[in-house]
Each structure stands twice: as C-alpha cells, then as structure tokens.
Amino acid sequence: MKTILIVDDEIHICTLLTTILTKEGYKVDHSVSGSIALKMLKENSYDVIFCDYRLKDKEIDGSILSLRIREMSPATSIIVMTGYPDVRVAIQLIKQGIHDYVVKPLNAAQAILLVQKALLHQAVLAKEQLPPVNPLTVNPVSTYVSRRGQLSQFVYGMGNTSKELHTQIKLIAPTDYSVIILGETGTGKESVAHLIHSQSKRKDKPLVAIDCGSLSPELASSELFGHEKGAFTGAIQSKVGAFQEAHGGTLFLDEIGNLSYEVQTALLRTIQERVIRPVGSTKEIHVDIRIIVASNEDLQRAVLQGRFRDDLYYRLNEFTINVPPLRERKEDLPLFVTTFKQVVEDELGRECGPLSDDILAAFSNYSWPGNIRELKNVMRRICLLSSDKDPITSEHLPEELHPAPRELAVPVIAGEANLKNVTRQAEYQKILDVLQQVRFNKSQAARLMNIDRKTLYNKLHTLNILL
C-alpha cells in the first residue's frame, strides 16, 4: 500500500486530506509540526509527503523541512502547498528537487491527481534505470500552434535539463509575467514562446511574433507601434502595429537586443504605461499584452556594455528561461529523432526506412551548432534521400556529421578571373568562418563582421548559404 504524510499546522487541512486520500486506498499519516514530521520519517517510509510552505513551527519551517526530507528520503515525492503562490519560490523549490508546488485550498480531485502524478513520476524514474528504455513509452511532447498557424509538436525530453525547462514553462505559462528566453540559435526559443502562449489564458487571442533582427531602425517603430497615413515618406496609408495586433494576446519580440536605443525607450514607455502612440499620431491607444522576448546573446552583457537599457531589461526580466543547447541534452536525441522522423514522414507523405545504429552514433558525437533546427533539417535530408524500406545509413548524412569531419568546402564560383567573383568567394569563406567561430549565432557573427543582422541575412541569401 502506498503511504502518504500530510504536514500542515492547520489541523483541518490535515484531517481533510487524510479523509480524501484514505478513501482512495492510501495509508495516510499527518503531523502539525515539522520536527515531529521528521521523527515520523525516521521511523516510517513515505511515498508522497504534502508539506505546507509556511509552517509555523518554532524549530523548522516548510522550506527547510522539504530540504531535510530530500536528504533523508530522496525517493519520496514532496508536494509543497502554499496559500501565497510565488513563481520564484516555486522555481527555487523545484530546483531543490520537490515534485510539485500547489496553491491551497486543494479540492479532492486535485489532491488525488497530485498523488497519482507523483506516483507515476516515481514509476517512470524507476523504469529509467532499467535498460533498454523506449523513450516514447512516456511521451513528453506537447502541441502548440506555430507562427504559420500549423499544429506543431514540442519535444520536452526526459533528461534533467529538459525536465527543468518543462517545469519552468508549466509554471510561468498561466501567469502574466514578461519572460526573457535565452539560448543559442535553433534551440527552440520561439517554440517555447508559442508554447507559453498556448498554455496561457491568452491562448484564444493572437500571438504576434516580430523578428527585431530583421527590422531596419527606420521601420522598427512603425512595425511595433503602427503609423498614420503621411507620417513619413512612403507612408501612403495608415498601418496597425504589432502591439495593437497582439491586443489581448502575446507579443513575441525575437532578437530583442537588436532594437535601437530609441526604440528601446519607446518600448519601455509602452510596457510601463500600457499605451502606444502610432508614428505621426497624437492619439494614445490602450493595449493589453503579455511580452515575451528572446535573444541568443546574453542580454545582461549587453546591459553592461551599454547596448541595452537596464531599466527595460529589468522590466522584461520578470522571469528568464534558458533553453539548453542540443549538445547539453544528448540524452534526448532519440526522442527528438523519433519525433522528427514522424514529422518528416508526414511532410513527405511516405514512410522512410529505419535508422541504422551508426546514424545515432554520429548524431551523439556531433556538437550541433545549429541545435534543434539543424537536427530537424538533417532528418529532412536523410529521410528525403532514403527509400521507404532500406535502412538510413551514415552515407546519407551531410559532410559535417561524418565521423572525421572535413572542412566545409568553398564552392568554386564560375568565372574565377572576374574580380567580382573573387570578392564573392572571399566573402563566402569569411562568413562561413565567422559563423563557425560563433557557433552559427547570427547576431554575434554580424557584430564581429561589423554589419547589421539584416545585411548578414541578405548576404547569406545571395551566397546561397542555407542555415
């Protein structure tokens, strides 16, 4: 029989939860004191412990109690209950290893579900220790509506870094906090923003995504705040900006670090006052939006270097999510591969052959500078090149994934004597070198080459460098 301990200084909560869970067939004990609870834990083992966060115990309060339980009985799932929810406390406790953080009062259905989830989680962990595990037996995949309006799959993964990401998204999504999402290119920052939106109470309103990296300084204000007809040369009609389009929903600003100082100032004002003034207009318009921003550079460093306003940073930084690079979550590769193979098969409208073991070995030896985007593209390529029956082998892999990676070959551009081509050739090589040096971080590459991100995009396009 599974055993549960309830620790709360309000006796009626102990009695209520004991009654509910005993009816479900669990053996339930309770304590109104943290120190007595620890003594009980020395003598008995518990599968799940419900623990009040603000325990009015002279010797031990709820937060310390949860730490002590972790030390004494690491396998026990701890569910911390609170009457005063605080996301930062929740994250801290979850980092310390508690299973869940819930707001009191709990009704019967919630309490039962919490225990079931905790026991299921324990069962999953127990299975994880038994090889071989099919990662798809527990499918940690969510769906969300992507920028193109398609239903997309988001793979959380099962490794510890991935689980932390999962927890953070789950906790932050229902709130209205502004979120900064940091991570290398292709790690899934935009996907995380969509996922947060789709799990928030704003989900039925639009998510408007703007790539600040591709906005010219002149057009940024107009894109964000809109403009009146005749506000500037070329403004032949008035335009509704992203803030207004996102009214009631979420505004996602990708590559926020690329906004000019002037636009950052206007953005700060809008966030503080929740009103916008379109370019060329005297009218203020109220907007109700949640802001999520992303960057693949460290925004704190940009603040220190004076490139990003500190007051805007602190306004936006109600919560930060760091999306890990793929090379730090290699344990999740099989799950990503299986999911993307299915996605590509759906895209191609046919099945692809099985993946041979050498493919997975090559995948796990590779550093994935382009992260999940690169993996998805590699899966597209190898599935496209394979037939539907024969196994997909390492022959189908692109060069950089071959066991002994060769240097990226510079294509010879026809007409070598032509001076323009010599320049193109040199540009091509330089851009590739710099991109490799900064692990394909386009903003950093643009900065190193002293060009803006938009120019870099144009060059990548002209030189046919596909990332």
Task: Provide the binding-site residues for ligand ATP, judged by CB under 6 A.
Answer: 152-155, 183, 185-191, 254, 294, 296, 372-373, 376
Whichever of 80 and 193 has its CB closer to ligand ATP, that residue is 193
Whichever of 227 and 447 has its CB closer to ligand ATP, that residue is 447
Exposed/middle/buried for residue 336 (C-beta within 10 Å: 0-12, 13-18, 19+): buried
Angle between helices 87-95 and 62-72 (to 10 degrees): 20
Structural contact between residues 147 and 141, judged by C-beta atoms closer than 8 angstroms: no
Q: Write down the least CB distance from residue 275 to ligand ATP, Å.
A: 29
Q: Write down the least CB distance from residue 343 to ligand ATP, Å.
A: 8
Burial track 49-85 (b if 16+ CB lie within 10 A, e otherwise) = bbbbbebebeebbbbebbbebeeebeebbbbbbbeee
Amino acid (1-letter code) at residue 139: N
Whichever of 68 and 166 has its CB closer to ligand ATP, that residue is 166
The span from the first CA to the last CA of the chain, in angstroms, equals: 55
Q: Write down the least CB distance from residue 155 to ligand ATP, Å.
A: 4
Q: Write down the least CB distance from residue 122 to ligand ATP, Å.
A: 25
What is the CB-side half-sphere exposure of residue 304 using CA atoms within 13 A? Answer: 5
Q: Write down the least CB distance from residue 453 to ligand ATP, Å.
A: 11
Whichever of 223 and 254 has its CB closer to ligand ATP, that residue is 254
Whichever of 418 and 455 has its CB closer to ligand ATP, that residue is 455
Whichever of 77 and 191 has its CB closer to ligand ATP, that residue is 191
Whichever of 63 and 371 has its CB closer to ligand ATP, that residue is 371
Closest residue to ligand ATP, based on beta-carbon distance: 188
Amino acid (1-letter code) at residue 346: D
Q: Write down the least CB distance from residue 391 to ligand ATP, Å.
A: 24
Structural contact between residues 189 and 296, judged by C-beta atoms closer than 8 angstroms: yes
Structural contact between residues 243 and 289, judged by C-beta atoms closer than 8 angstroms: yes
Contacts of 337 (CB under 8 A, 6+ apart): 355, 360, 363, 375, 379
Amino acid (1-letter code) at residue 418: N
Q: Write down the least CB distance from residue 158 to ligand ATP, Å.
A: 12
Q: Write down the least CB distance from residue 192 to ligand ATP, Å.
A: 7
Helix (H) / strand (E) element for 181: namely strand 179-182
Whichever of 17 and 182 has its CB closer to ligand ATP, that residue is 182
Whichever of 41 and 242 has its CB closer to ligand ATP, that residue is 242
Structural contact between residues 182 and 294, judged by C-beta atoms closer than 8 angstroms: yes
Cα 241 to Cα 230: distance, rounded to the nearest angstrom? 15
Cα 41 to Cα 15: distance, rounded to the nearest angstrom? 19
Q: Write down the least CB distance from residue 373 to ligand ATP, Å.
A: 4
